[in-house]
Amino acid sequence: MKIKKVMTLLLSAVVGAVFLAGCSGAGTQGTENTAVSEESSAEENGSEAADAGDTGEKHVNVAFFWITPTLDPAVDYQGWVTCRLGVGEALVKLNDDLEVEGCVADSWENIDDTTWEFHIRDGITFSNGTPVTAEAAKASLERAIEMNDRAAEYLKVDMIEADDQTLTITTTEPNAALLNNLVEPVFCIIDTTQSEESIETAPIGTGPYVISSFSPEQTVELVKNDTYWDGEPGLDTITVTQIADADARTMALQSGEVDITNTIDNTSVTLFTNNSDYNVSSIISPRVNVAYMNNAQSSPLHDIELRKAISYGVNREAYAELIGGSVAHSAYSDATPFGNDTITAYTYDPEQAVEILDAAGYVDVDGDGYRELPDGSGMNLRYLQAADHGSADSAILATAVQSDLKEIGIQVEIFSVENLTEYQTEGNFDFYTGNDNSAPTGDPQIWLETMYTDLGTSGKSNLTGFQNDRIDEIIEEMDTAFDPEERYALAAEASQILNDEAANLFLTNSYLNMVSVAKVKNAIQPVADFYFITKDITVE
Amino acid sequence: MIQYIAKRLVQLIAVLFGVTFLTFMITQAAPSDAAQMQYISMGTIPSEELLEQTREEMGLNDPVLVQYGRWLWNVLHGDLGTSTKFSESVLTQMSRKLPMTIELAAVSGVIMVLIAFPLGILSAVKKNKWIDYLIRFLSFFGISMPNFWLGLLLMYVFAVRLGWFHVVSTNDIAGIVLPVATLTIPMVCTYVRQIRAAVLEELNSNYVVGARSRGISERRIIFGHVLPNALLPIVTLIGLSVGHLLGGAAIIETLFSWQGIGNMVVEAIRVRDYPLIQGYVIWMAVIYVMVNLLVDIMYRLLDPQIRLRKKVD
Amino acid sequence: MGQASEEKGAVIHRYKEWKRHGRKALLKPAMTKKGKWLRFIIFAILALAVLFIAFLGPVLAPYDPLATDYGASLSPPSPEHWFGTDNVGRDVLSRILYGAGNSFSLTFIMVAAVSVIGTLIGMVSGYFGGILDTIIMRFTDILLAFPDTVFAIAVVGMIGPGLLNTILALSLVWWTKYARLTRGLASVMRSKDFIIQAKFGGVKTPGILFRYILPNVLPQVVVTMTLDIGGMMLSLAGLSFLGLASQPPTPEWGYMLYEGKSYLQTAPWIMLFAGLAIFITVLVFNLLGDSLRDILDPKEE
C-alpha cells in the first residue's frame, strides 16, 4: 500500500510540473497584453555581460541570417558570408557613402580605357603570415573568374599581370565599372596555395579575423588576426551562429544568447530603441522595395496610362511608416549618391489617378466596384508576393498596395509564392514583389543593365519586358564614362526616364538595422550589406 | 521467427519499392521539370529550343518508367542527386542534418515514454478518481493546442522573459529543452489516453477478475500481470510515434532554428529544391518503415500468444 | 492459526470486493449512461455554438476583414477593436470571425471527402477480400510508410504551396485511416449470419454494402470524423504556419498565426486570439468526439 501511495504522489508531482509549465506560459503571455515591461529581459542581459567580463577574454556572439555550406568566396554568393565574417577582403572596399576606398590595394590608376593598375599594400600578409604579393592577388582573382560566371562578367578581363606589388588588369572592352565591381566579395583575396578543401572550411584571407572552426550552415568560430594590416582587431574571439528567422534573432538578442545581430524587422527594433541596454544602428540601405510591373504585351500593365494611374494611387508615405524606411524616389535608393534629389517623383494623388483612369477608358461597366479594361473585359491583376529572409515586409506592402488600388477601383489579387523565379520566367504575373539592392557594388550600371535592358550577358533579369532606347544608350555611355560624376548624372537621367515611363512601382527604401547589447561598442550597420564584422567592434 | 522476419523483409522491400515509385511520381506532378529548374536556379530564361535540347540531354524525353528506373538505380547507389539550393550532393546535406533530427526525436521519444507511461497507468489504475479526471482533462488541452503556438509561448516565457533556455537550439541542455518540450507535450497527452485505454482493457480481462476473486492483491495484479501485458499495445504505439516525431520535427525545427532535416526540407520547398525534397521523403519513409519493422519483431518476441492464435486460425 | 487468519483475510477481502464491485454494478451503469449523454449534449451544444459563430461570422464581424487602416496598425485591444488590429490595421476580431468560416469549411470539406472515400474503399476491400483487398491494403501500406505530415509537406513541396494543394496533400494520406478502419469491420462482418442470410435472400451487393454493412461501421466512422476535425484543423494550421497553405489577404486562422508570429512581442494579441480560436475549436470537437465514442463504442468501459 505504501509503495502505491508514494508512486501516486510522485506521479502527481510530475503531472503538476508538466502542466504548470504549460499554464505559466499562457499566464505570463496574458499579462503581457496590458503591461509592457522590459526590466526582466534587461536584467538578464546585464548579468550575461558581467559573466563574460570575468573571463578576461573579449568575446561576442553574433547571429547571421545565413551561413553558407562552405566558405569558399568564389562559389555562388558565399563570398558575402566570408566577407561579413571579417575574414575576406577585396582589393578595394566601399565606404558608407558607397565610394571606393583602398583595402588590400592602397592605390590604383586607370591607365587607359582598358588598363587598370593596382598597387598592393606594402607589407600586407595573409593571416597565416604569407605576404600578399601581386602574384598572390592575381591567382586569387583568376580563381574567382574561373569558378564564377558573375565574377567573369563583372570584370571582362583579358589579362592580369603581376609584378612585385603591382597588379595590372587589362579588359577586353572598356569597363568603367571595373573598380566598383572589384569590391564584390567574390573577389576576396585569399591564399590560393591552400588546398581546395581548406579553402572550403577555413579560407585564409587578409581580414581582421581568422576562422578557427566551421560547421556548415550552423556556426563559425573566429579568432583575432594578430598580423592584421590595419591595427589590432577589437575582439579576441567571436562565435557566429546562423539564425535564419528574424523573430528568432530578436528573441535570441533578448535572451542574451546573442550580442550582435542585424536585419531585424522594423517593428521589432522598437523593442530595443530607447533602451539603454541595447545599441541600435539604423541606416537607409541601397535596397529598394519595388512592386515590379509587367510591361510586356501580355499584361494590362502594358498600358503606360494604367501604370501612371497606379503610380499615383499608392501611398508611399504610409508604407514607409508601416515598414520603416524612406519613400523611394525611383529605381535607385536614397542611400546611393546617384542624384535622387534632381528627380521628379510620384506623390500620392488618388484624384489624379482616377482622372487618368477615366480618361484612358478604364471604367466600372458592370458596377462591381472595380474598373474594367477599355474593351470592357474584366481586370484582375496578379500580384506575386514572396517572403524575403523571413521578413514580413513584402506581405505588408502587397496587402497595402492591394488595399490602396481598391480605392481607385483597381482589382488586385495577391499570390503568395515561394518559387517566384518560376512565375517570373514564365511571365505569369502583373506585379511581383522585390527588395533589391540598387547598387550592389556602389555603381549604378549593373543594376540598370540587368533590370532594364536586354544588353550583354548580364541582361537576363529583365523580366518585366521593359525596353527604352535611351536607357540602352545610357548603358553604352556608361561603359566608357570613367568619371564618377558623369556616371551619377547618367544614372539620374535613367531614373527620371523610369519614372516618366512609370516602369515600376518604386515604394520605399528599406532600413537596415543592426542591434547589439550595451557592452558592445562600434557595431555599426554598414551601408553595403556584404560587410558586418569589422576590426572596430569591441566590448567594454 | 526467422521465417517471419524474412517474410516481413520481403514485404518491406515491396513497400520501399512503392515508396520510391510514389516519390518519383510526385516529382512528375511538379509544374516545372528538371531542365527548367536547372535554368531557373541560374536565373536565366531559356529559349524553347535550348530547353528541348537540355531535356534530351537529361533524358527527360524518355518514357517515365525508363526515367524512374534510371533514377532508382542511382538512388540504390546512394546518389540522390545534387541540391540546387546548397550546390552540394543531397547525401552530404542529409548526412549532416539527419543526426540532428534523430537526436531531437530520440530525446523527445524517451522523455515522452518516461512521462506518458506513469501517467497513463496512474490514470487507468485510479480510474474515475480525481487524479484520472485531472489527467484526462489536461490531456485534452495538450492535444488541442497547435504545437507551434505552444512552442512560441514557451520560447517567449522561458527564453525571452526568464532566460532559462535558449531561443536558438543547440546541442546543450539549454538549447534542447524547449524544442523537446514542444514536441513532447502534445504527444504525451495523446499517448496518456491510449496507454490508459490499453491498461484498462487488461484490467477488465478475465484473468484479472479471476485473480481478484482469488484474493491476489491489487498491487500484484497490476505490476505482475496487467503492466507486462499492457506493454504490447504500447510498444506498437511507440513505433507509430516515430512518425509523429519525425513529421512534427519540421515545424519545431523551423521554430527553434534547429539544423535538422525538417528545417532543411521547409527551406527546400521554399526554393523548389526537388532532389532535396525527394531525398528527405525517401529517408523519412525508410526510417519509419524500419522502426516499425523492429517494433513488429519486438512485438512477436514479447508475445507468444499472437503466434499461437495465428496457428489456431 | 496462520491458515485461519489467512482464510479470514480472504473472506473479508472478497466481501470488500463484492461491496465495491457490487455497488458499482448496481449504480454505475445507469449513472454513467446518463452522465455520458449529458456530457455529449453539453459538448454538442458548444460545438454548435462554434459552428454558429463560424457561419454567422460575416454578419457578426464589426469590420471588413480586408479593410486596411494604416493609421491604426498594431493597435492593442480597445472598445473599437476588441481584439486589436494587425500589421496593416485590419480588425483582428473581424478577421477571426471571417476566418472561422474559411477554416471550418475547409476542414469539413476535407474530413467529409476523406471519410467518404476512405469508408467506401474500406468497405469494398473488406467485403470482397481476395486480390482486390490485398492490392488496396498494400497501397495503403505504402502511403502509411510516410509519416503524414512528412507526406503532406513533400506533396506541397512538389506541386507548390497553396490552400487547395495543401488540402489535396493531406487528403492523399488521410483516407487510408478510414479505409483501414472500415475494412477491418467489414471483413469481420461479411461472415456474420445476417449478411449471409441477406445474400441468400437475394439482396444485391450494393444493397448489402449500404443497407447492412454501412450502418454497422457508421458509428465508428462518425466518432473518427469528429475527432479528425480537430486533427485536420491542427495539421492545416501547421502547414499554414510554415507558409505553405493560405494566401494573403484571406483571413484564415493558421495564416493569421503565421503573420502574427513576427509581432509576438510588439502586438501579441494577433497570435494570442488566433491561437485561442484554433485551440478552443479543436478542444470542443475533441471533447465532443470523445463523448460520442463513450456512447457509441462502450468497449473502453
ipTM reported for the complex, 2 dp: 0.80
C14 band by pLDDT with thresholds 50, 70 and 90? low
Per the rule left: phi > 0, alpha: psi between -120 and 50, beta: everything else, A86 is left
Q: How many CA atoms lie within 13 A of A355 on its CB side?
A: 5
Are B68 and B176 members of one domain?
no
Question: How many other C-beta atoms are found inside a 10 Å radius of the C-beta of residue C126?
Answer: 26
Tell me where in chain A the CATH 3.10.105.10 domain(s) lie: 285-511
Are B45 and B100 members of one domain?
no
DSSP A223: E
Contacts (Cβ under 8 Å, ≥6 apart) of A451: A331, A436, A461, A462, A464, A466
Q: Give the nearest partner residue to B284 out of C17, C147, C287, using CB atoms.
A: C147
d(CA C93, CA C110): 25
CA-wise closest residue to B155 among B258, B250, B255:
B255
Contacts (Cβ under 8 Å, ≥6 apart) of B80: B74, B89, B90, B91, B94, B275, B278, B279, B282
Q: Judge: A76–B185 Cβ closer than 8 Å, yes or no.
A: no
Q: Judge: A419–C248 Cβ closer than 8 Å, yes or no.
A: no
B-C CB pairs within 8 A amount to: 138
Look at residue B65 and tell me if it is in a domain: yes
Q: Judge: C237–B15 Cβ closer than 8 Å, yes or no.
A: no
**Which residues are paired to A283 by β-bridges?**
A512
Name residues 161-200 of chain C within 8 A of B (Cβ).
Answer: 161
Are B42 and B136 members of one domain?
no
Q: What stretch of H or E contains A92?
A: strand A92-94
Look at residue B81 and tell me if it is in a domain: no
Q: Give the nearest partner residue to C249 out of A30, A246, A414, using CB atoms.
A: A414
Alpha helices by DSSP H, chain B: 2-29, 34-42, 48-58, 64-76, 90-125, 130-144, 147-154, 173-203, 206-213, 218-220, 227-255, 261-270, 274-302, 304-312
Which of A416, A426, A431 to probe by mutation at the C interface, max C CB count within 10 Å?
A416
Find chain B residues with C-beta within 8 A of C269's C-beta.
none
**Which residues are paired to C13 by β-bridges?**
none
What does the pLDDT read at residue A86?
A: 95
Write out pLDDT tens, residues B252-300: 888 888 888 888 888 887 777 888 888 888 888 888 888 888 887 887 7
Contacts (Cβ under 8 Å, ≥6 apart) of A342: A492, A496
Please give the C-alpha separations between residue A122 and each of A55, A83, A104, A185, A192, in angstroms, as whole numbers.
37, 22, 9, 22, 19
Domain that holds residue B48: 2-76
And the C-alpha cell for A384? Answer: 506575386
- Nearest CA to CA, how far is B142 from chain C (Å)? 9
Question: Are the CB atoms for C293 and C223 separated by under 8 Å?
Answer: yes
Name residues 14-33 of chain B within 8 A of C (Cβ).
Answer: 14-16, 18-19, 22-23, 26-27, 29-31
Question: Are the CB atoms for A237 and A57 separated by under 8 Å?
Answer: yes
Look at residue B181 and tell me if it is in a domain: yes
DSSP B32: S
Q: Judge: A403–C68 Cβ closer than 8 Å, yes or no.
A: yes
Are B168 and B293 members of one domain?
yes
- Nearest CA to CA, how far is C129 from chain B (Å)? 17
Name residues 27-86 of chain C within 8 A of A (Cβ).
Answer: 66-68, 70, 73-74, 76-77
Look at residue B85 and tell me if it is in a domain: no
In chain B, the residue whose alpha carbon lies closest to the alpha carbon of A150 is: B42
Are B178 and B287 members of one domain?
yes
Are B148 and B182 members of one domain?
yes
Domains of chain C as residue ranges with CATH: 31-300 (1.10.3720.10)
DSSP A76: T
Are B109 and B64 members of one domain?
no
Question: Are the CB atoms for A314 and A540 separated by under 8 Å?
Answer: no
Are B162 and B308 members of one domain?
yes
CA-wise closest residue to A28 among A46, A41, A13, A42:
A41
Question: How many other C-beta atoms are found inside a 10 Å radius of the C-beta of residue A128?
Answer: 13
Find chain A residues with C-beta within 8 A of B45's C-beta.
425, 460, 463
Q: Judge: A403–C77 Cβ closer than 8 Å, yes or no.
A: no
Three-state DSSP at A166 gives strand
d(CA A469, CA C130): 74
And the C-alpha cell for A115? Answer: 588598363
pTM score of the predicted model: 0.80
Q: Judge: B143–C230 Cβ closer than 8 Å, yes or no.
A: yes
B74 band by pLDDT with thresholds 50, 70 and 90? confident
Find chain A residues with C-beta within 8 A of C248's C-beta.
385, 395, 398-399, 414, 416
Look at residue B91 and tell me if it is in a domain: no
CATH number (domain holding residue B301)? 1.10.3720.10
Are B67 and B134 members of one domain?
no
DSSP A296: S
Alpha helices by DSSP H, chain C: 2-60, 92-128, 130-144, 148-159, 163-189, 193-200, 205-207, 214-241, 253-260, 268-296
Q: How many CA atoms lie within 13 A of A409 on its CB side?
A: 24
Average pLDDT on B206-234 reads 78
What does the pLDDT read at residue C258?
A: 83
Write out pLDDT tens, residues A165-207: 999 999 999 999 999 999 999 999 999 999 999 999 999 999 9
Q: Judge: C262–A29 Cβ closer than 8 Å, yes or no.
A: no
Q: Give the nearest partner residue to A322 out of C70, C247, C248, using CB atoms.
A: C70
**Cell 497584453 appears where?**
A33
In chain C, the residue whose alpha carbon lies closest to the alpha carbon of A268 is: C266
A-C CB pairs within 8 A amount to: 73
Are B107 and B57 members of one domain?
no
Domain A285-511: state its class.
Answer: alpha beta
Are B236 and B295 members of one domain?
yes
Question: Are the CB atoms for B281 and B262 separated by under 8 Å?
Answer: no
Burial group, residue A101, by CB count within 10 angstroms (0-12, 13-18, 19+): exposed
d(CA B272, CA A495): 34
Give all chains having 3 or more CB-to-CB distances under 8 Å with chain B. Answer: A, C
d(CA B88, CA B96): 12
In chain C, the residue whose alpha carbon lies closest to the alpha carbon of A319 is: C70
Last residue of some domain: B76, B108, B136? B76
Question: Are the CB atoms for A155 and A180 separated by under 8 Å?
Answer: no
In chain C, the residue whose alpha carbon lies closest to the alpha carbon of A407 is: C67
Q: Judge: C248–A398 Cβ closer than 8 Å, yes or no.
A: yes
Look at residue B82 and tell me if it is in a domain: no
Look at residue B253 and tell me if it is in a domain: yes
What does the pLDDT read at residue B44?
A: 58
Look at residue B25 and tell me if it is in a domain: yes
Contacts (Cβ under 8 Å, ≥6 apart) of A35: none
The torsion angles phi and psi of A218, rounded to 5 degrees, stand at -125, -75
> Does the N-terminal peptide bond of residue A203 adopt cis geometry, omega within 30 degrees of 0?
no
Find chain C residues with C-beta within 8 A of A401's C-beta.
none
Contacts (Cβ under 8 Å, ≥6 apart) of A259: A60, A61, A62, A253, A516, A517, A519, A520, A539
And the C-alpha cell for A224? Answer: 583575432
C130 band by pLDDT with thresholds 50, 70 and 90? confident
Q: Give the nearest partner residue to A257 out of B87, B118, B166, using CB atoms.
A: B166
Q: Judge: A247–C68 Cβ closer than 8 Å, yes or no.
A: no
Please state the domain count of chain B: 2
Write out pLDDT tens, residues C213-240: 888 888 888 888 888 888 888 888 888 8
Local confidence pLDDT in tens for the 540 residues of chain A: 444 444 444 434 443 444 444 333 333 333 333 333 333 333 334 344 444 445 578 999 999 988 988 899 998 889 999 999 999 999 999 999 999 999 999 999 999 999 999 999 999 999 999 999 999 999 999 999 999 988 998 899 999 999 999 999 999 999 999 999 999 999 999 999 999 999 999 999 999 999 999 988 889 999 999 999 999 999 999 999 988 888 889 989 998 889 999 988 888 898 999 899 999 999 999 999 999 999 988 899 999 999 999 999 999 999 998 888 899 999 999 999 987 888 999 999 999 999 999 999 999 998 888 999 999 899 999 998 876 555 678 888 998 999 999 999 999 988 877 667 777 777 789 999 888 889 989 999 988 988 898 875 544 578 888 999 999 999 999 989 999 899 999 999 999 999 999 999 999 998 889 999 999 999 999 999 899 999 999 998
d(CA A285, CA A324): 12
Q: Judge: C88–A396 Cβ closer than 8 Å, yes or no.
A: yes
Burial group, residue A91, by CB count within 10 angstroms (0-12, 13-18, 19+): buried
Q: Judge: A18–B188 Cβ closer than 8 Å, yes or no.
A: yes
In chain B, the residue whose alpha carbon lies closest to the alpha carbon of C274 is: B149
- The two beta strands, A380-385 and A431-437, are parallel
Determine whether domain A210-281+513-539 maps to CATH 3.40.50.1110.
no
Which of A263, A275, A316, A396 to probe by mutation at the C interface, max C CB count within 10 Å?
A396
Are B130 and B181 members of one domain?
yes
Say yes or no: C266 contacts chain A, CB-CB below 8 A.
yes
